[in-house]
Structure 1
Amino acid sequence: MTRWHLRRSGGWLGIALAVVVASASAAYIEEEFGPAAPVRPERPLRPPVAPPPPTPHVPELAAYLDRLEIRHPLVCGRLAVFPVTLRGHGGPAGRWWTADESIAKGILIVTEKEGGGSVPLLVMENRCPAVHVFVMAGEVLSGGKQTRTVRRDVVLSPGQRVEIPVCCVEARRWKGEAGFGAAGVLVPQSIQKALRQGADQAVVWAEVARNNAALGSENATGSLELGLKAEPVAEKLADVRRTLVPEVPAGSVGFIFADRFAGRAVGGEFFGRSDLAHGLLPKLIDAYAVDFVLQVGRDGTVRPVDRAIAHEFLNRIRYAGSYRTGTPGSGAGIAARSAGLVGDGVGLGPHLVHFGCQVEDRIVVPLVRPVPRRGNITPGVMVE
């Protein structure tokens, strides 16, 4: 046999040997692991689910979060609002009124503390024998010796009288009558965040001054209420409400607020009853519109928003967990300080009354990247 014939037969022999080895390997794999499954088309990805929280939620908030459904966003300028509805029924039973309703009807009496008053404390009394009163943290009370805002959620059962923690939002006044009325406003969300983070009185006064200056509504007593009710500010806030409030679905129990420049959610307010949610909605919209619609000097590119933003925020709340804290009225306080969120609320029995939370970190608008000059550039050195 010639050398050429040997080379040719050796090539065919190698091919045959490779086929035998491959067949044997396939047989071994099938015997060891079972027959290969047919390739199936990929299923669409489900919405991301938050991992288990490091600490569980208090029972009423855990049950509530599991039943939430997020609706399509409503937008006005930089602000987007995602209404939230609740699957099924169940919430605090009986008759409930907001602080503004209760003060207007004369059943909620708010006064300075006896003995000349105390800046961080007020007295509240629910004089109705058949109605619960809910006072939300951040609500502004007008009158007394100086205008105040409520530091923590309060539930007043029928006939209950309590002292509540407050903070002054009118730095340059300490005179007047003992009684208070409803100011009809909430502190802006930036001040609410500072309160939830434990800001002291000096920090709150500084935030009020900053807010009034940004709105162009500074006034003699440094009053937040007067700043928010200055005519140009009030007209712009009314325009935002007219755009958003009529579009909110009936039965909504909460709202997630998003910044369309940053493309992310910045806060949420959740209620156990839709009547409380709708009653407080106009003030909540104002509280976010002050920072995300009215204030000047914050130009940017509006990004499209969809429900994925709200789902991500809701999953963040689920992951954060919550724990018990005190409350000056009835029920049990709720707090969350995890996953970059700061939140507070109150429950009554097995039901959530209210829980509000915000993203702790500040929103940073990225700077325009400098364009380097041609030539040699040292890595890490910015060229002007």
Structure 2
Amino acid sequence: MNSLLTEYLAEIYSGQSQKRNNLQLIPLFHKRMSGSRDYLLLDEAMDQGTLQLAEASEQGMVNNLIVINLAKKPVLIFDGEELIGAKQNRMVNATMLIPAEGKLDIPVSCVERGRWHYNSRHFGKSDAQGYSELRRKKAATVANNLSRNMSFVADQGEVWSEIDRKQAAMGMSSETDAMHDVYRQYKKELDEFIAGLRPIDNQTGIAVLINGKFTCLDIFSHADVLAKLWEKLLKSYAMEALEQKELKTTRSRSGKIEPLLNELQEAELNQYPSVGLGTDIRLMSKKYMAAGLIAGERVLHLAAFPKWERKTESSRFAQPSRRRTMH
């Protein structure tokens, strides 16, 4: 195990959880503060007009985009962030740090199978991101492809199949099979679900339990990063909770997350050169898998998921009257 990563995991601790219906959020903190942030986030750079994302060519390539960073600071783009526009919406395959004033090809997955034509020349930011089950499946196939051929490509067919499953489970469909349309359809429910939930001072991460079962974990280098991503992340967690709201709740061991962190410290570690700056890390233990990015002697992001697929029995959240096609 990388000594920096081992030390980092050992210094994470949890606080008092927040609960909303079947969703439990355990706040995570780090014993050492990271100092000032020396990079921009995707939305910050787009708001400043210093980040451009476009198709890899006029014809386009489903699993690659071009990113141009015009800023004098690196830009951090997180695993699962959605990019909307151009020929079809995409989701980022891994957390990556785009160099200052740099240009890169980045690996992505399509999350809008039914469109392949321009509705804009460049991509825009989204208020949604990949929900945890979609991210979990994507992370597993990216880890497999990295170990086999050093590729950050995901299984595109599995991504599409999971979005199809999600739309069916939520009782809806989309003309372009877009993940984003699920969020649009359930905007009111998601807004109500997360209303009033706020990060705690110095909180840098979240462990998520749904119906008492661990679903995912996201932890970042700085508390202000979590604060800026808070609404987007919570909507992705709530999207899972809505689907499973009628399923049986299990006892959650009092919401203890330390056993997971301890197991990750003993996990098998694989490290790869990132697409951008730093080192991509992949952890695999008996029960969990994790992915993240280390750059400048700091863990900028770590995401963890259950290793095994959850049961996909549906709560049939949507009533028949709501099962309609999004236009």
Q: Where on the TM-score scale, by shorter chain, does this alignment land: which range?
A: 0.7 to 0.9
Q: Distance in 2 between matches of 1:364 and 1:144?
A: 35
Deviation (angstroms), 1:111: 0.5
Give 1 or 2: higher strand fraction: 2
* Residue in structure 2 matched with residue 252 of structure 1 by the alignment: 203
Q: Distance in 1 between matches of 2:12 and 2:244?
A: 35
Deviation (angstroms), 1:61: 2.0
* Residue in structure 1 matched with residue 273 of structure 2 by the alignment: 326
1:173 to 103, 115, 137: 115
* Residue in structure 2 matched with residue 142 of structure 1 by the alignment: 84
The superposition leaves residues 272-307 of structure 1 with CA deviations (integer Å, 9 ceiling, x where unpaired) of 111112212222222221112x11673324646634
1:274 aligns with 2:228: no
Q: Distance in 1 between matches of 2:253 and 2:231?
A: 22
* Residue in structure 2 matched with residue 242 of structure 1 by the alignment: 195
2:238 to 286, 289, 313: 289
Q: How does 1:12-31 map to 2 (within 5 A)?
A: none
Indicate if the aligned counterparts of 1:83 and 1:249 stay in contact, CA closer than 8 A. yes
Deviation (angstroms), 1:322: 2.4
Structure 1: tracts of 5 or more residues without a match: 1-55, 367-384
1:162 aligns with 2:94: no
1:341 aligns with 2:285: no
* Residue in structure 2 matched with residue 73 of structure 1 by the alignment: 17
Indicate if the aligned counterparts of 2:263 and 2:285 stay in contact, CA closer than 8 A. no
Structure 2: tracts of 5 or more residues without a match: 142-153, 314-327
When the two chains are superposed, the root-mean-square deviation of aligned CA atoms in Å is: 2.0
Q: Distance in 2 between matches of 1:143 and 1:348?
A: 30
Q: Distance in 1 between matches of 2:306 and 2:38?
A: 32
Indicate if the aligned counterparts of 1:170 and 1:221 stay in contact, CA closer than 8 A. yes
Indicate if the aligned counterparts of 2:213 and 2:252 stay in contact, CA closer than 8 A. no
Q: Please tell me the residue identity of whatever aligns with 1:114.
A: S
Q: Which is worse superposed, 173-182 or 273-282?
A: 273-282
* Residue in structure 2 matched with residue 378 of structure 1 by the alignment: none
Residue 257 of structure 2 aligns to a residue in which SS? helix
Q: Please tell me the residue identity of whatever aligns with 2:169.
A: A
Q: Distance in 2 between matches of 1:295 and 1:304?
A: 19
Q: Which is worse superposed, 69-78 or 296-305?
A: 296-305
1:132 aligns with 2:35: no
TM-score (norm 1): 0.74
Deviation (angstroms), 1:310: 1.1
Q: How does 1:102-113 map to 2 (within 5 A)?
A: 102-113=45-56
1:217 aligns with 2:172: yes
Residue 68 of structure 2 aligns to a residue in which SS? strand
Indicate if the aligned counterparts of 2:128 and 2:180 stay in contact, CA closer than 8 A. yes
Deviation (angstroms), 1:156: 1.3
* Residue in structure 1 matched with residue 323 of structure 2 by the alignment: none
Deviation (angstroms), 1:265: 2.2
Q: Distance in 2 between matches of 1:166 and 1:181?
A: 15
Indicate if the aligned counterparts of 2:10 and 2:262 stay in contact, CA closer than 8 A. no
Residue 331 to residue 296, structure 1, CA distance change in 2 (3 Å):
closer
Q: Distance in 2 between matches of 1:296 and 1:264?
A: 11
Q: Distance in 2 between matches of 1:338 and 1:287?
A: 25
Deviation (angstroms), 1:214: 1.9
Indicate if the aligned counterparts of 2:33 and 2:222 stay in contact, CA closer than 8 A. no
Indicate if the aligned counterparts of 1:214 and 1:296 stay in contact, CA closer than 8 A. no
Residue 363 to residue 113, structure 1, CA distance change in 2 (3 Å):
closer
The superposition leaves residues 241-262 of structure 1 with CA deviations (integer Å, 9 ceiling, x where unpaired) of 2142x2x212111111112x3x
The superposition leaves residues 9-52 of structure 1 with CA deviations (integer Å, 9 ceiling, x where unpaired) of xxxxxxxxxxxxxxxxxxxxxxxxxxxxxxxxxxxxxxxxxxxx
Indicate if the aligned counterparts of 1:188 and 1:288 stay in contact, CA closer than 8 A. yes
Q: Distance in 2 between matches of 1:264 and 1:317?
A: 17
Residue 167 of structure 2 aligns to a residue in which SS? helix
Residue 152 of structure 1 aligns to a residue in which SS? coil
Q: Please tell me the residue identity of whatever aligns with 1:298.
A: E
Residue 89 to residue 183, structure 1, CA distance change in 2 (3 Å):
closer
Q: Distance in 2 between matches of 1:365 and 1:224?
A: 18
Deviation (angstroms), 1:153: 0.7
Q: Please tell me the residue identity of whatever aligns with 2:183.
A: L
Q: Distance in 2 between matches of 1:359 and 1:302?
A: 16
Q: Distance in 1 between matches of 2:96 and 2:268?
A: 21
Residue 299 to residue 89, structure 1, CA distance change in 2 (3 Å):
closer
Indicate if the aligned counterparts of 2:132 and 2:215 stay in contact, CA closer than 8 A. no
1:152 aligns with 2:90: no
Quick check: which has more Rg, 1 or 2? 1
Residue 95 of structure 1 aligns to a residue in which SS? coil
